[in-house]
Amino acid sequence: MEISVIGAGYVGLTTAACLAEIGHHVFCADNDTQKLDQLQNGQMPFYEPHLEGIVDRNREAKRLEFGPTEEGVDRGRALFICVGTPPLEKGEADLSAIERVARVIAHRGHGYRLVIEKSTVPVQTGRQLKRHLALFRTKELEYDVVSNPEFLREGAGVEDFFHPDRVVVGVETPRALEQMREIYRPVLERTFACPVHSECSRQDAARPVPFLVTDIASAELVKHASNSFLAMKISFINLVADLCEAAGADINRVAEGIGLDRRIGSSFLRPGIGFGGFCFPKDLQAFVRIAEKLGCDFSLLKEVERINLRRLDHFVEKVKKELWVLRGKEIGVWGLAFKPNTDDVRFAPALAIIRHLLAEGAEIQAYDPRAVDNARREIPEVTYCSDPYEAARGTEAVLLLTEWDEFRDVDWERLRALMERPLIIDGRNVLSRDVLATYGFQYVGIGHDAEVPENELAGARGDGSGKV
């Protein structure tokens, strides 16, 4: 099927490349000519595991092409709208890019078009989209509108495309339903060569992919509600983490105990410095706004947002408690991206914490395996380093703010010799206090009793000499 994907951002490019990988001919369109040049010349606008290989392979096989939106509308029979819906000032989703695409489809579209909403949008956007197409369409245009929310996670986007928990389609006609089933058939029937796993797990191979068919509004709500529920789970466990600190309990054990209940599940119960990224914060706000507009009180989700914002202050308080005066203190930071396996720093808690520490006069040396360039554009006054040791050199503490795997596997002895004080403050609870103690480190984590007896603090100087 001739497919066009409008918008070559994170969702659009991943979707376009993966649809080409399962055999469709895909035209990926964007009105950012610089990005199009990059993509046509084999450069990737962002880092995402496995994606570059898929883009290269399918571009070379001419199954994936790039060009302007107008050409995309002319050439595609199925049109995936994957443009950005950033937050407006009060948190509503900005739908202007969607409207622009709808206008191009209405004016240029001829014959039949399957118009597929894939951007994350508030409920009733599909209704607006249909109305807009009806208002501005040429006589020759016939169309169906579909909602097909995406659930891709950054850092695991390709894997999530090929191994989805479900595919959701909101449709109004059997014709639209059949085409959506056709588009996803290789994923639903697992007739694809997986670009992520040399051999997909038997369990996964055996599990049929749910193909959930609903009306358009319900499909739109599935996305906002799913993200808001996951965000709520994170804020809940962060609340319990605070209680563990006050009660002398251990959040890691508590989360384990909660997660063993199959009705709850262990995923998204990792406490830390809060959720970030371009999805949860904005989707939560947009969901609250649309609910209020429709007369529903979603104060529960406002609380989820408040708890999340408080994580930043809570963490900075932890740093202050250990370092006392921050002014002039050298602090090392490990991790800048909002989560591992991505170079994305949008709404990253790490950057918010760095800004807070800089405002208190601290000096920051930071390292991240992928996100330094993006972080430097946001906060140029930080010293960016090329490895975790350089970031720790001469510092009074290292803050772990993004749980990249490489931070679990550090040469602790070498690190201790580099630091002014062997103190690790772990904002993601991925390191072990006991292991670090064997290397003479003081460890402060989230959600467990952080108090270190005075006598254990003696001789905390980095080089183990104990000399002040």
Of the candidate residues 154, 159, 250, 426, the single one contacting ligand UDX (CB under 6 A): 154
Total residues interacting with ligand UDX, rule: CB under 6 A: 19
Q: At what angle do helices 299-323 and 280-293 cross, to 10 degrees?
A: 150
Catalytic residue, from 28, 244, 279, 385: name it. Answer: 279
276 binds ligand UDX (CB under 6 A): yes
384 binds ligand UDX (CB under 6 A): no
Return the range that interacts with ligand UDX (CB under 6 A); candidates 38-46, 204-212, 266-274, 374-382: 266-274
427 binds ligand UDX (CB under 6 A): no
DSSP string for residues in 44-85: -SS--TTHHHHHHHHHHTTSEEEE-HHHHHHH-SEEEE----
269 binds ligand UDX (CB under 6 A): yes
150 binds ligand UDX (CB under 6 A): yes
Distance between CA 416 and CA 363 in Å, rounded? 19
CB of 190 to ligand UDX, least distance (A): 21
CB of 338 to ligand UDX, least distance (A): 4
398 binds ligand UDX (CB under 6 A): no
Residue type, 332: G
CB of 176 to ligand UDX, least distance (A): 22
Residues in the chain, total: 468
95 binds ligand UDX (CB under 6 A): no
Structure tokens at 203: 């369990």
151 binds ligand UDX (CB under 6 A): yes
Residue closer to ligand UDX by CB (options 230, 301) is 230
CB of 135 to ligand UDX, least distance (A): 31
Euclidean distance between the first and the last CA atom of the chain, given in angstroms as a whole number? 72
Return the range that interacts with ligand UDX (CB under 6 A); candidates 34-42, 78-86, 152-160, 208-216: 152-160
Name the CA radius of gyration of the chain, rounded: 24
Return the range that interacts with ligand UDX (CB under 6 A); candidates 145-153, 195-203, 413-421, 454-462: 145-153
Of the candidate residues 39, 279, 291, 357, the single one contacting ligand UDX (CB under 6 A): 279
For the segment 315-374, give every residue that binds ligand UDX (CB under 6 A): 338-339
CA 250-253-257 angle, 5° bins: 135
Of the candidate residues 66, 280, 407, 443, the single one contacting ligand UDX (CB under 6 A): 280
Respond yes or no: is residue 279 known to be catalytic: yes
Q: How far is CA 388 from CA 182, 231, 272, 414, in A?
A: 48, 29, 20, 11
Return the range that interacts with ligand UDX (CB under 6 A); candidates 56-64, 122-130, 131-139, 227-235: 227-235
- Spatial strand order in the sheet of 211-214: 64-67, 25-29, 2-6, 78-81, 111-117, 141-147, 167-170, 211-214
Return the range that interacts with ligand UDX (CB under 6 A); candidates 47-55, 104-112, 151-159, 373-381: 151-159
* Stretch 282-321: interaction string toward ligand UDX, x if CB under 6 A: ----------------------------------------
CB of 418 to ligand UDX, least distance (A): 27
Catalogue the E-assigned strands of 278-422: 330-334, 363-367, 383-384, 397-400
152 binds ligand UDX (CB under 6 A): yes
Instruction: Return all residues near 229 (Cβ < 8 A) that are at least 6 apart.
Output: none
Q: Give yes or no for a contact between 1 and 183, defined as CB atoms under 8 angstroms apart.
A: yes
Residue with tokens 């969607």: 98
Residue closer to ligand UDX by CB (options 314, 339) is 339
Helices (H) and strands (E) in the chain, counts: 19, 14
Distance between CA 142 and CA 184 in Å, rounded? 22
Nearest to 234 by CA among 275, 179, 182: 275
Q: Give yes or no for a contact between 333 and 425, defined as CB atoms under 8 angstroms apart.
A: no
236 binds ligand UDX (CB under 6 A): no
Residue closer to ligand UDX by CB (options 24, 233) is 233
Interface residues with ligand UDX (CB under 6 A)?
A: 150-154, 227, 230, 234, 268-270, 272, 275-277, 279-280, 338-339
Residues forming the active site: 279
